[in-house]
Structure 1
Amino acid sequence: MDLIAFVPTTDLPRAVAFYGSVLGWYVPDIRATIAELTSRGGTFTRYDGMPQDSLGVWTTPPATGSPGSPIPTPTPSP
């Protein structure tokens, strides 16, 4: 996976307050990634009123710009 951005921090509480849940990452297969993380003890939060599939994946219709929208694969600059 290519590194798209690196956000260094020495003050984690301040960084969390600033970025919140804005940061994300690209994975080529979300379902395979969830299965692997779950097999290693990872857990995923489910929210009432938000339609999630059996793995906990929530998406919005494509191209809405909402946080759950599928996005194109990032292309690093030359």
Structure 2
Amino acid sequence: MLNTSRIIAFVPVSDVDRAMHFYVDVLGLTVTDYTDEYCVLDAAGTCLRLTRVVELPAAEHTIVGWSVANIDVTTAELAARGLGFHRYDGIVQDQHGIWLSPKGDQVAWFSDPDGNTLSVTQFAESPATSMA
């Protein structure tokens, strides 16, 4: 039933304006709608909705990730915009914070201004194939 419907991603934020500037100025997304309560962004055809919440519980996992064609170029561009990447104990990451998974996928994690963990991934295979 929902396999033909487009997904909408929701990200909880404490300050819509601050979050909007991060997602637009640092990540390069485009605003399609905005109020004090929410901001709707276009993420390559996926609707990413930043929604103001009163309490923002810290998620200990990735809440939104992007599939990228070249993780080295992407992380370099994001770093040039002032973004820092997470380092995690127990996993081996290169000098840029990129982890190489056992399947060959490469992943780097970072946070938005509210501490939401986001990621970029370069899949070893096409994303459709890697979902099998």
| Structure with greater strand percent | 2
Matched ranges for 1:32-71 at <5 A: 32-62=73-103, 70=123
Corresponding residue SS for 2:101: coil
Aligned length: 69
Aligned to 2:126: 72
TM-score, normalisation: structure 1: 0.59
Structure 1 Cα separation of the partners of residues 100 and 53 of structure 2: 28
Corresponding residue SS for 1:22: strand
Q: How far did 1:59 drift?
A: 2.5
Deviations 1:31-51 (A, max 9, x none): 111111111111011112210
Identity %: 32
* Structure 1 unmatched ranges of 5 or more: none
CA separation of 1:27/1:72 partners in 2, compared to 1, >3 Å: closer, same or farther? same
Asked if the contact 2:70–2:122 (Cα under 8 Å) also holds between the matched residues in 1, the reply is no
Aligned-partner residue type, residue 70 of structure 2: D
Deviations 1:3-37 (A, max 9, x none): 3532434345678768x523211111011111111
Structure 2 Cα separation of the partners of residues 14 and 32 of structure 1: 35
